[in-house]
Structure 1
Amino acid sequence: TSFTKAALGAEGVGKDVIMIIGNGYTKGHAQIALDELRESEKLRKIFEEKYI
Structure 2
Amino acid sequence: MFDEIDRRYFERRAQESRERAQTAQASSIAEVHRNFAEEYERKAAALSAESRSA
Q: Could you tell me the TM-score, scaled by structure 1's length?
A: 0.33
Q: Comparing both structures, which one devotes a greater share of its residues to helix?
A: 2
Q: Could you tell me the TM-score, scaled by structure 2's length?
A: 0.32
Higher-RCO chain (CA-CA 8 Å, sequence separation at least 6)? 2
